[in-house]
């Protein structure tokens, strides 16, 4: 099959064997005894919720976390059989009835939602399955210390309508050792809040706090369940986290993760440019020799960030080619001067492998200060995700 759908200038494929490898790795080397909830927010980090969820299920995963009710709806429309699904962020009160009647689990981090969930559960005569999110130092969402007493009272009054499935929090930057003290404080705070709820006679079934970075860097955060996103897709939350993993395991070198996604395009056009000319808009790139360049039909309008101007790298014929000049809306220019025989139509790898080399997002993410997360989640939603072996 021709993977270049005629209406698109690039294509995305999803590797089943890579995903299987990563899930196995996470279960064996990261989670310990904790349950695993795969985070599929942000269109499954750009991989496509509709393609990704059934594949993950086929490898034994039955817990998923999303940010919004909209994403939950998409998961529900493709899942096979029973799953545990958590909405960690946005849901409107009008959507609660749908969520509760479908046993979708909901983060509760403010009183309005707690009261609304309780009243909808009453009306449906069904227990709402909730996760109490508490503030420990991220200062994003989560009940503050001073609200906990009231929360506990509301829960106790409504025991027959609420199933306290989780107590949770999120760490403010577990991927960098520079946040070490802040994270330690968060862990302490969380543990003391857990004790508080237990003392009140409220025992959440699952304590969960760890994302990928916390799970690797702070094993004490694994608790009863972990919420793992980026590792599943084959990326480390940061270089530091990868090094920490190698250190913990006495390993050197080899990355145990495999990239699930491949994003590729092809050479649109080739040109020779004389020494001393500017390439593209403005003056950000001047040729220092006579050189051959190629246009690739992907730009910031298709998810290739403008931050990667003069920074990004792609693969052509198994060799690295740098992005030169400013990334345009629909195009970028690459330097193919040292790659022989490049022709129009040749494959260009934007993320993924070609011959022995691979382009991870981190490779240029670090240069441009743009994390993997951002580039992945900006991948165009309208490109079909092609599932490969």
Ligand X SMILES: *Cc1c(COP(=O)(O)O)cnc(C)c1O
Interacting residues with ligand X (CB under 6 A): 39, 41, 88, 170, 211-213, 227-230, 237
A 10 A CB-CB count for 58 gives 12
Structure token digits, residue 361: 């997002």
Query: Please, what is the minimum distance in Å from the beta carbon of residue 65 to ligand X?
Result: 7
Can you tell me the distance from the alpha carbon of 40 to that of 218, in angstroms, rounded to the nearest whole number?
22
SS3 state of residue 358: strand
- Contact between residue 244 and residue 251 where contact means Cβ atoms under 8 Å apart: no
- CB-nearer residue toward ligand X: 222 or 336: 222
Strand partners, 68: 90
Query: Please, what is the minimum distance in Å from the beta carbon of residue 107 to ligand X?
Result: 8
Q: Cβ-closest residue to ligand X? A: 229
Structure token digits, residue 367: 């240069």
Query: Please, what is the minimum distance in Å from the beta carbon of residue 18 to ligand X?
Result: 17
- H/E run at residue 164: strand 162-168
- CB-nearer residue toward ligand X: 212 or 354: 212
Query: Please, what is the minimum distance in Å from the beta carbon of residue 26 to ligand X?
Result: 10
- CB-nearer residue toward ligand X: 86 or 336: 86
- CB-nearer residue toward ligand X: 167 or 267: 167
A 10 A CB-CB count for 299 gives 19
- Contact between residue 339 and residue 316 where contact means Cβ atoms under 8 Å apart: yes
Rounded alpha-carbon distances, angstroms, from residue 187 to 32, 72, 180, 241, 340: 18, 29, 11, 18, 55
Query: Please, what is the minimum distance in Å from the beta carbon of residue 102 to ligand X?
Result: 21
Length of the chain: 389
Query: Please, what is the minimum distance in Å from the beta carbon of residue 106 to ligand X?
Result: 13
- CB-nearer residue toward ligand X: 138 or 386: 138
A 10 A CB-CB count for 53 gives 26
Please name the residues in contact with 330: beta carbons below 8 A apart, sequence gap of 6 or more. 9, 297, 298, 299, 301, 302
Query: Please, what is the minimum distance in Å from the beta carbon of residue 42 to ligand X?
Result: 8
- CB-nearer residue toward ligand X: 260 or 293: 260
- CB-nearer residue toward ligand X: 130 or 230: 230
3-state helix, strand, coil in the chain (%, to 5): 35, 25, 35
């Amino acid at each position: 099959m021709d993977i270049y759908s005629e209406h698109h200038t690039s294509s995305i494929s999803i590797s089943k064997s890579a995903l299987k490898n990563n899930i196995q790795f996470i279960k064996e080397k990261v989670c310990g005894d904790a349950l695993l909830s795969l985070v599929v927010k942000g269109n499954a980090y750009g991989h496509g919720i509709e393609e990704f969820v059934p594949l993950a299920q086929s490898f034994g995963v039955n817990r998923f976390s999303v940010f919004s009710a909209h994403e939950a709806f998409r998961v529900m429309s493709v899942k096979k059989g029973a799953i545990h699904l958590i909405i960690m962020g946005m849901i409107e009160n009008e959507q609660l009835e749908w969520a509760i009647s479908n046993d979708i689990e909901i983060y509760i981090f403010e009183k309005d939602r707690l009261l609304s969930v309780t009243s909808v559960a009453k009306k449906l005569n069904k227990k709402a399955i909730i996760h109490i999110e508490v503030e420990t130092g991220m200062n994003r969402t989560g009940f503050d210390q001073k609200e906990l007493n009231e929360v506990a009272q509301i829960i106790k009054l409504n025991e027959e309508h609420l199933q306290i499935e989780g107590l949770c929090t999120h760490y403010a930057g577990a991927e960098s050792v520079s946040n070490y003290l802040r994270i330690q404080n968060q862990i302490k705070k969380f543990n003391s809040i857990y004790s508080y709820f237990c003392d009140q006679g409220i025992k959440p079934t699952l304590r969960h706090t760890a994302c990928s970075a916390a799970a690797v860097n702070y094993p004490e955060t694994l608790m009863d369940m972990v919420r793992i996103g980026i590792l599943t897709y084959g990326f480390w939350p940061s270089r530091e986290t990868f090094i920490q993993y190698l250190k913990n395991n006495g390993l050197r070198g080899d990355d145990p993760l495999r990239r699930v996604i491949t994003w590729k395009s092809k050479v649109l056009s080739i040109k020779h440019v004389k020494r001393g000319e500017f390439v593209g808009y403005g003056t950000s790139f001047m040729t220092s020799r006579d050189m051959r360049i190629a246009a690739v039909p992907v730009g910031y309008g298709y998810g290739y960030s403008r931050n990667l101007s003069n920074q990004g790298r792609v693969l052509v014929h198994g060799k690295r080619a740098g992005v030169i000049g400013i990334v345009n809306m629909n195009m970028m220019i690459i330097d193919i001067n040292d790659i022989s025989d490049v022709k129009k139509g040749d494959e260009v790898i934007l993320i993924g492998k070609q011959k022995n080399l691979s382009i991870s997002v981190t490779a240029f993410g670090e240069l441009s200060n743009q994390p993997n997360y951002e580039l992945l989640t900006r991948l165009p939603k309208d490109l079909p995700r092609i599932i490969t072996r």
